[in-house]
Structure 1
Amino acid sequence: MTKGRQTSILHSDYVAPEGFGAFPPAIHYGSTVLFPNVAAMRSTEWKEKNAYTYGLHGTPTTFTLEARLAEIEGGKYCLLAPSGLAAISMVILGMLKSGDDLFIPDNAYNPCRELGKWLQRDYGITARFYDPMAGSGIAELIQPNTRLVWTESPGSVTMEVPDLRAICAAAHGKGVPVAIDNTWSAGLGLQALDVGVDIVVQALTKYQSGGSDVLMGAAITRDAALNERIAHAHMRLGLGVSPGDAYLVMRGLPSMKLRFEAHDAGARAVAQWLKGRAEIARVLHPAFEECPGHEFFQRDFTGAGGLFSVVFDPGYTEEQTDRFVDALKLFKLGYSWGGAHSLVMPYRVAAIRSSWKQGTLVRFNVGLEDPADLIADIEQALGVL
């Protein structure tokens, strides 16, 4: 067939030779997916993920990342979302409908709390908040219309570690599945599916990427029926991710465990030093005895990562602790964590936790700097209090 120049540009006869191998996975971009014939197109089902139908439902790049993440968590199914919050929304919207009840721990990631309030206000889904340390006691609080129990371990900002095994047993006894935001441990410090959780949500923005440059989330499960419900929400919400971003996350995975362990060691060193400071009333690090739920951390976790909080002595005002944060030089002021650079963030906890009666809380993300330098930075900043 003779082709004009423009047609030749669009329809080249060249096919690259097979047999290329390299450690990095290939980046397959594409919205339109080509089918060899009509029969193949009509026999392909997007939910099965054994073929390709449209870029939104995945390319070889995103399928590969999903498989690797599921393996890290000990799961079977994985769905990617554009952010950690998108993954939370995808799971909750996939599991609930109008008239259902959602049970959220009072110490959950605040955007998750706000999502629950929004669903209650505008969509007829009740969202109730429970004491994260309730353990098996939540059985008495689960209602006939409760369709999902949400958990987070440890709790966002205030770091309580719940008794996940007791919560899962109580919820399952009522026929209710349990989901967890397992971002803090990256699936390395806690194998949540092994302690009874049904659905794991991760913010891949953190340790999996490690570069402070990617937004992505994932939902992982072993249950085919639960995965199908989440997959329908994924499709209906149009939650596609860029194969380029998926590549960046995969590029971070080989070093994730080593980085996680380095964050853990650095954070414990900094937290231990802070325990000896008179300015600090309490160190909220799950590996330390004074952290609520420490015994459950000891039982269920194998590592801690770099994130923990401290509570200042009540004698210090918010103005003083803000001055402390502003005086830090190596710790940069910013949300998120899991990257190489250390971060700090002060919180007005009373605004998100009605029961909070302690002093001002400051959260640290210990990065990959020398812990001695980070300690020196904190020490000089404490001098401005």
Structure 2
Amino acid sequence: MKKQTQIINAGRGKKWASNVVNPPVTRASTVVFNSVEEMKHATKNKTNQVMFYGRRGTSTSFAFSEAMTSLEGGAGCALYPSGTAAITNAVLSFVESGDHILMVDTAYEPTRDFCNKMLKKLGVETTYYDPLIGAGIEALIQDNTRIVFLESPGSITMEVQDIPSIAKVAHQHDCIVMLDNTWASPINCQPFELGVDVSIQAATKYVVGHSDVMLGTATATEKYWPTLRENSYIMGQCTSPDDLYLAARGLRTLGVRMAQHEKNAIKVATWLQGRDEVETLLHPAFESCPGHAFFKRDFTGSNGLFSFVLKASNNDAITSLLDGMEHFKMGYSWGGFESLILAVQNVNALRSATTWPYKAALIRLHIGLEDVDDLIADLERGFERLNALL
């Protein structure tokens, strides 16, 4: 089945949707039984998508989990109230005091905070590594290394990792490979074909696609799914059926939205390449992005999120650039239909294992679904304001 057809049909089986197009919203805490035998059956099969208790899941959550598992692969998908919750609970499901994890140096900032604060307090050590290390990661693996965590591309600087090489080495040392796969969404990278054991999505972003739901997912291989499922349940993780309904609805347009985000972003990035203000373009689909060759090999498409580095900047110039934007609004998320802009003036403050080589500010853009000519005109006016204060 082709991916676009799969997107439309995933999680919409008769078991969940009956005779309607979309699986309905099922809200429940207590699930009641009419006989001892019914209760015994539900209890015995509580891990097999049988209604048992609201936190374990309802038909709405089972349908969405099935859809995500179908699109990403793996054996099952756990659901969380945010992308950060998916990351933290996935890690916590497999570590204990005395363990060690390897974390990519370009990880999402809350992921780094979790490692430096929560995991450290629990006696789990973190070593950060260069995202471009590839098979060289073997030199960092210790006897107690439990997890190798990847994020590809990186959240801000967009380095693309050599996932298969890292996974091969990690598995030789019995390490679990986790990937924050949010940038690719469930359709532009097939993580389990690359050697990943647990694939994590901030479904808040492209899956939902409308900037109105917080949601996270973690999909695991058959080997690790039971542990991930049960430990996440023990830690109390559950999600709103109303949010899951919106996420499932977002899935149906994911393919066409991603294609338009990609088309718009490629046009804007190509325009930026020709601007005198731009030092370098950090878009995985362009050769100037570190790890571009891995993107070409492992990804089937891109999206609307990328960065570029300015040749020169100062605080006043950056403020003037940002404050005057008409279509690009400032915000910390991405993946919705709207365009966003964010400036990072000290990238080195966000990393510890690698050194950022550029002096001027980095600008991260999320290219939304607006008319791309309006977006370019907005950026052009922004450069005029920037240049006036340099």
TM-score normalised over the length of structure 2: 0.91
Aligned position for 1:333: 330
Q: Cα distance, 1:120 vs. partner?
A: 4.1
Q: 1:228 to 1:374 in 2, by over 3 A?
A: same
Give the fraction of aligned pairs with identical amino acids, expressed as a percent: 42
Structure 1 gaps, min length 5: 1-18
SS of 1:185's equivalent?
Answer: coil
What is residue 345 of structure 1 aligned with on the other side? 342
Task: Please provide the CA RMSD for this pair.
Answer: 1.3
Q: Give the match for residue 300 of structure 2.
A: 302
Aligned residue among 269, 272, 291 for 1:274: 272
Contact 2:306/2:366 (8 A) holds in 1: yes
Distance in 2 of aligned mates of 1:86 and 1:46 = 26
Q: Following TM superposition, by how much is the alpha carbon of 1:47 offset from its aligned partner in structure 2, in angstroms?
A: 5.1
Partner residue, 2:374: 373
CA distance in 2, matches of 1:66, 1:263: 25
Change (3 A) 1:210 1:181: same
- The aligned residue for residue 362 of structure 2 is 361
Q: Write the mapping of 1:129-278 to structure 2, written as runs, cut at 5 A.
A: 129-223=128-222, 225-278=223-276
Matches of 1:126 and 1:119 in 2, distance apart?
10
- Name the residue aligned to 2:283: 285
Q: Aligned equivalents of 1:130 and 1:332: distance in 2?
A: 32
Cα distance change on mapping 1:47 and 1:53 into 2, 3 Å: closer
Counterpart-to-counterpart distance in 1, 2:96 and 2:210: 37
Question: Matched residues in 2 for 1:381 and 1:46: separation?
Answer: 58
Q: Which runs of 4+ in 1 moved over 3 A?
A: none
Q: What amino acid is the match of 1:356?
A: W
Residue 42 of structure 1: how far off its partner (Å) = 2.8
Distance, in Å, in 2 between the alignment partners of 1:235 and 1:377 is 46
Distance 1:146 1:69 in 2: 29
**Following TM superposition, by how much is the alpha carbon of 1:24 offset from its aligned partner in structure 2, in angstroms?**
1.8
Alignment partner of 1:319 out of 308, 316, 319: 316
Distance 1:93 1:120, change over 3 A: closer
Q: How many residues align?
A: 365
Counterpart of 1:149 in structure 2: which amino acid? V
Q: Which runs of 5+ in 2 are unaligned?
A: 1-16
Contact 2:168-2:195 within 8 A present in 1 as well: yes
Find the aligned partners of 1:321 and 1:45 in 2 and give their Cα distance.
60
SS in 2 for 1:384: helix
1:120/1:242 CA distance change after superposition, 3 Å: closer
- 1:30 aligned to which of 4, 28, 31: 28
TM-score, normalised on structure 1?
A: 0.92
Shift of 1:20: 6.5
Structure 1 stretch 322-331 or stretch 266-275: which is displaced more? Answer: 322-331
Shift of 1:232: 2.4
CA distance in 2, matches of 1:40, 1:181: 39
Q: Does the 8 Å contact 1:322/1:346 carry over to 2?
A: no
